[in-house]
Amino acid sequence: MDKTAIRQKIKELQDLIEEKDYGMYTDPDTGLMWSDTSPSEMPWDKAFKYAENCRDGNFNDWRLPTRPELITLIDDTTSEPACKDPEMLSSYYWSSTTYAYNTPYAWYVYFGSGFVNYYYKASNYYVRCVRSGQPT
């Protein structure tokens, strides 16, 4: 490994340590930044409001992830949690995506196994906020 590659690896590790200090995880495959804060379970409408008001790492552009974004966290080579981020609970997490054929339902991911389905928005599931970009 040459000096440039070593410096780059050191920078990546320093960034990762800094993100963990802020309570965040950046997916190296998508570049999406995920808040590590997992409040108590809540219904879908409250999850939306929670994400809009999240200020982790002093960022103000957090949101509830779409179904395709949440699915990118699934790691089907592991279980309990079946997630790239080991900080994730093996539980149910809301996406922002409403089920098109029955709007009182929304999509979720169960990170115990990576199962994706939809359920009543009035149900209580966890929230994992997402934003685009890297910390500066």
The tens digit of pLDDT for each residue in 74-118 reads 998 988 899 988 778 899 999 999 999 999 999 999 999 999 999
3-state DSSP call for residue 124? Answer: coil
Q: How many domains does the chain have?
A: 1
Percent of the chain, pLDDT > 70? 83
Strand order in the sheet with 92-98: 92-98, 105-110, 115-120
Contact 100, 67 (CB under 8 A): no
CA distances from 45 to 98, 103, 104, 111 (A): 11, 12, 11, 21
Radius of gyration of the chain (CA): 16
Q: What is the mean pLDDT of the chain?
A: 86
Q: Residue 64 belongs to a domain with what CATH number?
A: 3.10.100
Q: Which of 21-25, 26-30, 132-136 has the highest mean pLDDT?
A: 26-30
Does this model's pTM top 0.85? My answer is no
Contact 110, 120 (CB under 8 A): no
User: What range does the domain containing 124 cover?
Assistant: 3-132
